[in-house]
Amino acid sequence: MNQPSLAELLETSAQGRRIHKEEALLLAREAEFFDLGIAAQAIRMRRHPEELVSYVADRNINYSNVCVCACKFCAFFRAPGHAGGYVLSRDELARKIEETQAVGGTQILLQGSHHPSLPLAFYLDMLAFIKARYPEIHIHAFSPPEIMHIAKLSSLAPREVLKEFIQAGLDSIPGGGAEILVDRVRKLVSPNKCSAGQWLEIMRLAHELGLKTTATMMFGHCETLEERIEHLLVLRRLQDETGGFTAFIPWTFQPDHTRLPLPKTTSITYLRTLALARIVLDNIPNVQVSWVTMGSKIAQLGLFFGANDFGSTMIEENVVAASGVHFRMSRSDIETTLQEAGFRPAQRRMDYSLLEPAKRAD
Ligand code: SF4
């Protein structure tokens, strides 16, 4: 079969034809900036015909920053024994959840680090404490590398850990710790973290056990363009099998205060990657912008490059903030930003059901 021309490729992919690796590479390398955006936006508008952009009101709560992984891109962690290490007390956890609820938050994204000694019971008690005290809060918690780490520390199979977490109150899993799902890259930037295969396996298990999860990509560090595309393709393959990913969330590596002194990825590369993701990931329904790393103006542009969701309010965010990037938005800031871009804002839950009808743009 003849390889389609770039123009044919843009046209047929915009119509929804699944593209393969070489075609994705051709688009990534040669498509004009706006042509790529237009193709991605055609797919987005077909999938989500209403001019509505959703967001979730939540808070990132990092229960601990004590970590044995020492990923080179991370400015957040503290090595065991460091004076700045912490584990949140129950009182601090409760205060953070109550503050979240007070401003209309419905969920917490609960993530930590790879703590060297917290036992399984610590995590189970934390989940049970939250569920008993705040039954209406959705607990979106523990990235695949954390789950793999906890399983190893407890000498349990990851499936057993997941089952225990679900029983204790876990509602869904965030797609953190994916970085780039290619082991060559992982060995360079996060050599002590789980492999790409293990990340995917935890997600497969979670989906089999009935949990919904998100998928992420942190790009713009040691990966090649081919490896970025490989990342998208392994997610697409798993989604074909399980259908468990609700959304894809790409963001750019933030180099300040890290051990990877690389130049920052440009907004153009971010928007091109967002558009390419919408085109390649034809089976993941939602694509989020990352205003936390890109700021509100580039995030608005992302809504014309294939994204249909504004992510979350992140009442608290510590990991990106540790690299010196401090974008902040309240619920009303997000709603105004979406209306200014011509969309109707709608607060949603993790599963993308809406809390109330979307607001008008005018
Ligand atoms: S990214 Fe996570 S696992 Fe890696 S060093 Fe930071 S806290 Fe630890």
Q: Which of 294, 289, 204 minimizes the C-alpha distance to 243? A: 204
Low-confidence stretches of the chain (pLDDT < 50) are 361-362
The residue written with tokens 């890109």 in the block is: 294
Distance 65 CA to ligand 1 centre (A): 8
Q: Which pLDDT does position 257 carry in this prediction?
A: 87
Instruction: Say how far apart CA 188 and CA 43 lie, in whole Å.
Output: 35
Domains of the chain: 6-347 (3.20.20.70)
Q: Which two tokens stand for residue 15?
A: 């119509």
Ligand 1 atom nearest 70 alpha carbon: 5
Sorted by sequence, the CB contacts under 8 Å of residue 342 that are 6+ apart come out as 51, 361
Distance 240 CA to ligand 1 centre (A): 29
Angle, helix 267-280 to helix 33-47, in steps of 10 degrees: 40
Distance 70 CA to ligand 1 centre (A): 6
Q: Which pLDDT does position 356 carry in this prediction?
A: 79
The residue written with tokens 């510590």 in the block is: 318
Distance 71 CA to ligand 1 centre (A): 5
207 CA to centre of own chain: 16
Three-class SS of residue 237? helix
pLDDT per residue as tens digits for the range 294-348:
999 999 999 999 999 999 987 777 777 777 766 778 889 999 999 999 999 999 9
pLDDT per residue as tens digits for the range 227-273:
999 999 999 999 999 999 999 999 999 998 899 989 999 999 999 99
Q: Which pLDDT does position 359 carry in this prediction?
A: 60
- Pocket probe for ligand 1: among 65, 73, 76, 153, the residue whose CB has the most ligand atoms within 8 Å is 76
Q: Which pLDDT does position 362 carry in this prediction?
A: 47
Mean pLDDT of the chain: 94
Other Cβ atoms within 10 Å of 14 Cβ, number: 18
Whether 349 contacts 212, CB under 8 Å:
no
Please, which contacts does 241-244 make with residues 24 or more away whose CB atoms are closer than 8 Å? 241/204, 242/203, 242/204, 242/207, 242/208, 243/207, 243/283, 244/203, 244/206, 244/207, 244/211, 244/212, 244/213
pTM, two decimal places: 0.95
Beta bridge pairs of residue 173: 213
Q: Which pLDDT does position 195 carry in this prediction?
A: 98
